[in-house]
C-alpha cells in the first residue's frame, strides 16, 4: 500500500504451526490514533467464513501500548508468537486486517495469505 510505511517479517516460517516463531513489525504513523478500531476477515478458499471487529483504543480504554501515538511517530514490535495449531487443513487462507482511527481514516491494512497443500 503506497499510503503506508510498514515492514513485517517472520523467522522460521516452516515451523509456524507447531513452534514459537519470532516476528518483527515496524511502521511510521501517517495518522494519529486517539481511537483505533480493527476489522478482520478470514477467507478460506475464496469464501469469507469469519468477520471480527473490535475497539482497540479509545479514551479510558487502551488495549495496546501504542494507543495515543501521534502522526509521524514510529511503532515497533518484536517478539515471539505461538499459534499452537497441530494441523492446518489444505487450502488457501487469507486474513484481511484493516485498522481505522476516530476519523474513519485507514491507519494500516494488510492481507496475510497462507497456502497449505502439504499432507500431514
* Domain total in the chain: 1
Is 56 domain-assigned? Answer: yes
The answer on pLDDT for 7 being more than 70 is: no
Region 104-118: what's the mean pLDDT? 82
Percent of the chain scoring above 90 in pLDDT = 25
> What grid cell was written down for 62?
487502551
* Domain carrying residue 58: 7-116
Is residue 91 a contact partner of residue 114, using CB atoms and an 8 Å limit? no
Is 2 domain-assigned? Answer: no
pLDDT bracket for residue 37 (50, 70, 90): very high
Distance CA(13)–CA(25), nearest Å, equals 15
Closest CA to 97 of 39, 23, 37, 35: 39
Residue 21 sits in a domain whose CATH number is: 2.60.40.770
Name the 3-class secondary structure at 47: strand
pLDDT bracket for residue 40 (50, 70, 90): very high
Distance CA(36)–CA(1), nearest Å, equals 19
Is 112 domain-assigned? Answer: yes
Amino acid at each position: 500500500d503506497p499510503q503506508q510505511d510498514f515492514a513485517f517479517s517472520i523467522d522460521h516460517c516452516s515451523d509456524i504451526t507447531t513452534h514459537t516463531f519470532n516476528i518483527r513489525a515496524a511502521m511510521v504513523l501517517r495518522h494519529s490514533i486517539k481511537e483505533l478500531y480493527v476489522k478482520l476477515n478470514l477467507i478460506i478458499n475464496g469464501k469469507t467464513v469469519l468477520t471480527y471487529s473490535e475497539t482497540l483504543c479509545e479514551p479510558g480504554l487502551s488495549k495496546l501500548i501504542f494507543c495515543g501515538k501521534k502522526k509521524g511517530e514510529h511503532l515497533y514490535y518484536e517478539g515471539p508468537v505461538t499459534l499452537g495449531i497441530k494441523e492446518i487443513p489444505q487450502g488457501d487462507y487469507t486474513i484481511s486486517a484493516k485498522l481505522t482511527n476516530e476519523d474513519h481514516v485507514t491507519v494500516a491494512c494488510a492481507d496475510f495469505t497462507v497456502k497449505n497443500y502439504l499432507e500431514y
